[in-house]
Amino acid sequence: MTGDGGPGSFSREAWTRNATACETIRSMPFNAELAAGTLPQDRFRHYIVQDAHYLIGFGRALSLAAAKAPEPDTIVQFARAAEEAIVVERALHGGFFRDYGIGPDTFAATPLTPACDHYVSFLMATAYAEPFEVVCAALLPCFWIYKAVGDDIFARAGQGNPYRAWIDTYAGADFAAAVAAMIAVTDRAALNVSAATRERMQRAFAQATRLEWMFWDSAYRDAAWPL
C-alpha cells in the first residue's frame, strides 16, 4: 500500500506518518482472508451490514463537507460523493443482502456496533465542528485506504473468490477516479492553512485511519456492545 500524493503534499506526509497503520490494515486477518476467499460468511455478513449503516453516516458527513466547500466545483464533487456513498455502494450491498437473506427489517433492527458508531460519530462531529480543510482530512482515509486495500486484494484474489463483487468495486476505475479527486481536493485545501490547522488535519487523518482498522477488526471478531 503506497501513497499517491505529490512530494511535499499534505497527502504524502499523511500517508508517510500512517504507513505502519496502513500496512497493518493491509495484512490484518479480515483482509488477508477476504483476498484468499476464505473469510467466513458470517464475518463478511457482519461487515456488510455495518458498512451499510456506516455509509449513511459517511454520506451525511460528505453532504456537510459540500455545504462548507469554498467553490462551486467542490460543492458538486462532495454532493456527488454523498450520492454515490448512499446509492451506488448500497447497490453493491444489496446484492449481498439478497444472497444472505437480509431484508430491510433485519437491517433496521441491527444496531451499529461500537466501532461503527465511533467512526460515524467521529466523522459527523468533525463535519459539524471543524473547518472544511480538517473535514477533508477526516474523510480521505475511507477513500484512500479502501482503494489501496482493494488494489492489493484484487492482485491476490482468484476469479472464484465469493467476494469478487466487493473486490472489483474498490479496485475499479470509477472508484480510482473518486479517490484521486479526493486526494487532490484535500491537498489543495491544505496549501494555505496555518501550521496549527495542518496539524489538526494530520490528527484527523490519523484518527480516521485508526477507525478504519477498528471497523474491519470489529467485523472479524463479530464485536458487539458488552452491555
Q: Is the pLDDT of residue 4 over 80?
A: no
* Average pLDDT for 99-122: 94
User: What CATH number does the domain containing 81 carry?
Assistant: 1.20.910.10
Rg (C-alpha) for the chain, rounded Å, is 17
Residue range(s) defining the domain that contains residue 96 = 10-221
* Average pLDDT for 144-152: 92
The answer as to whether 1 is a domain residue is: no
* Average pLDDT for 169-186: 91
122 to 90, 118, 138, 143, 207: CA distances (angstroms): 22, 6, 9, 16, 9
Q: Is the pLDDT of residue 2 over 60?
A: no
Lowest mean pLDDT segment, chosen from 89-98, 108-117, 196-205: 89-98
Residue 90's CB: how many other CB atoms inside 10 A? 16
Total domain count for the chain?
Answer: 1
CA pair distance 99, 45, nearest whole angstrom: 10
The answer as to whether 212 is a domain residue is: yes
Task: For residue 182, count CB atoms less than 10 angstroms from its CB and return exposed for 0-12, middle for 13-18, buried for 19 or more.
Answer: buried
Q: Is the pLDDT of residue 7 over 70?
A: no
Task: For residue 193, count CB atoms less than 10 angstroms from its CB and return exposed for 0-12, middle for 13-18, buried for 19 or more.
Answer: middle
**Residue 95's pLDDT is what?**
82
* Average pLDDT for 97-117: 92
Q: Is the pLDDT of residue 1 over 60?
A: no
What residues contact residue 141 under an 8 Å CB cut-off, 6+ apart?
18, 205, 208, 209, 212
Q: Is the pLDDT of residue 220 over 60?
A: yes
Q: Is the pLDDT of residue 6 over 70?
A: no
**Residue 57's pLDDT is what?**
96
Of the chain, the percentage scoring pLDDT greater than 70 comes to 96
Q: What is the pLDDT of residues 57-99, one digit of tens each?
A: 999 999 999 999 999 999 999 999 999 988 876 777 778 888 8
The answer as to whether 22 is a domain residue is: yes
CA pair distance 126, 108, nearest whole angstrom: 25
The answer as to whether 126 is a domain residue is: yes
Buried b / exposed e over 119-156, threshold 16 CB at 10 Å, is bbebbeebbeebebbbbbbbbbbbbbbbbbbbbbbbee
* Average pLDDT for 135-162: 92
* Average pLDDT for 32-56: 93
The answer as to whether 191 is a domain residue is: yes
Instruction: Yes or no: say if 5 and 11 are a contact pair by the CB < 8 Å rule.
Output: yes
The residue with greater pLDDT, 66 or 170, is 66
Q: Is the pLDDT of residue 206 over 90?
A: yes
The answer as to whether 106 is a domain residue is: yes
The answer as to whether 85 is a domain residue is: yes
The answer as to whether 23 is a domain residue is: yes
